Amino acid sequence: MTVLAIETSCDETSAAVVRNGMVLSNVVSSQVALHAEYGGVVPELAAREHLKNFPSVARTAADAANIAMTDLDAVAATQGPGLPTALLIGFRAGQAVAFALEKPFIGINHHEAHLYSPWISDFAAFQPNVSLIVSGGHTILAWVQSELKHRVLGATIDDAAGECFDKTGKLMGLPYPAGPEIDTLAEQGNPKAFDFPRPLLNDPGDDFSFSGLKTSVRYYLRDKPQLLEDAQKVRDLCASVQAAIVEVLVEKTMRAAGRTGVGCVTASGGVTCNSALRKQLADACQKKGFTLRMADKKFCTDNAAMIGILAERKLAAGITPTALDEEIRPGMEL
């Protein structure tokens, strides 16, 4: 089966071609530079950019996969969750292509695509797992009992972990998105220099909360603004904030894995690029004897390959395609 997949839920315009579980092409046009000026994603601008970039992104994906549009067996696009105007561009474009080709169309849940992204190109190795989806817009713990069967265990009750990286970074004067910059600066910082809170760490549930940590950094810098004039102190702040976020993510993921009795932990989403998270998850899983699958870095941030891979598996499993007059679902839940 050959599938054209489209992802436009936020600020990446992406198209991919997948065939029989393999990614033939995955083109991502990022709008990060455009939104950096505003310190966050501006929905109207994102939609206009998707509209402008989609035709060339789709064309490049088809050319890179060496296929003609008539080779396609199905078309997939992100249906939700996401920014309504941004989702609309890719979803409607996908429906239009499917209509023109008289092929099935399938709308895909963005979170669900992240959930299965650690298995891209290697579904043969799939095993039941506890999965951490962690990015700028979402922080979710899910229990994947078998392929296409999963249950949400917990999620953030306020800010997402990536949002916490980005907003605390902004308080330190770092450019948007601050996550990657904090990761780099933290390498030469002391993670114990500042003792920031670990929200909900001792709560027995599987939910997360990061807004208190952000507020704590805000008050700390309000009272000691001179810290930001010392480059080493900024590195220490980055390391300390990162340590607080990562400790909560790793501890709660491991606890859920232990409780559910699975032998495998997976992680996906943009924050899974974080080097401390990758290392600490690896160490914790090794200690407990769990298998760890983290999405390949190129599939951590938003991409259409994960949409296409999940679409293909759903269609192969006999899941009914999505009607061509069906709407986007900006608040779609996992």
Binding site for ligand KG4 (CB under 6 A): 10, 135-137, 162, 165-166, 177, 179-180, 183, 269-271, 273-274, 301-302
Element (H, E) at 288: helix 275-288
Beta carbon nearer to Zn ion, 112 or 302 = 302
Which residues in the 89-108 window bind Zn ion by CB under 5 A? none
User: How near is the Cβ of 10 to Zn ion at its closest, in Å?
Assistant: 7
SS3 content of the chain, % helix, strand, coil (to 5): 50, 20, 30
C-beta of 185: minimal distance to ligand KG4 in Å? 11
Least distance in angstroms from the C-beta of 306 to Zn ion: 9
Of residues 261 and 331, the one with the C-beta less far from Zn ion = 331
CB of 225 to ligand KG4, least distance (A): 23
Residue whose CB is less far from Zn ion, 217 or 295 = 295
Q: Which C-beta is closer to ligand KG4: that of 136 or that of 308?
A: 136
8, 307 Cβ separation under 8 angstroms:
no
Q: How far apart are CA 283 and CA 250, in angstroms?
A: 10
Distance in angstroms (rounded) separating the CA atoms of residues 6 and 55: 11
Which listed option, Zn ion, ligand KG4, none, makes contact with residue 271 (CB within 5 to 8 Å by class)? ligand KG4
Q: Closer to ligand KG4 by CB, 76 or 273: give it.
A: 273
Angle of helix 179-186 versus helix 231-260 axis, rounded to 10: 110
273 binds, among Zn ion, ligand KG4, none (CB under 5 to 8 A by kind): ligand KG4
| Residue 177 CB, nearest approach to Zn ion (Å) | 12
Residue with the shortest CB distance to ligand KG4: 270
Question: Residue 306: is it exposed, middle or buried by C-beta count within 10 angstroms (0-12/13-18/19+)?
Answer: buried
Burial string for 250-272 (b: 16+ CB within 10 Å, else e) reads: bebbbebbeeeebebbbbbbbbb
Cis peptide preceding 191, ω within 30 of 0: no
Cα gap 278→293, rounded to integer Å: 10
Task: Tell me the one-letter amino acid at 174.
Answer: L
Q: Which of 131, 135, 280, 322 binds Zn ion (CB under 5 A)?
A: 135
**Does 117 help bind Zn ion (rule: CB under 5 A)?**
no
CB of 10 to ligand KG4, least distance (A): 5
Amino acid at 38: Y
Residue 65 or residue 86: which is nearer to ligand KG4 going by CB?
Answer: 86
Distance in Å, CB of 135 to Zn ion, minimum: 5
- State the DSSP code for 178: -
First to last CA, the chain: 25
Is residue 183 close enough to count as binding Zn ion by CB under 5 A?
Answer: no
C-beta of residue 273 within 8 angstroms of C-beta of residue 294: no
Nearer to ligand KG4, 75 or 271 (CB): 271
Binders of Zn ion in range 251-310 (CB under 5 A): 302
What is the dihedral angle through the alpha carbons of 168, 173, 176, 181, rounded to the nearest 10 degrees?
-80
Q: CB under 5 to 8 A by kind: which of Zn ion, ligand KG4, none does 43 bind?
A: none
The site for Zn ion (CB under 5 A) is made up of 135, 302
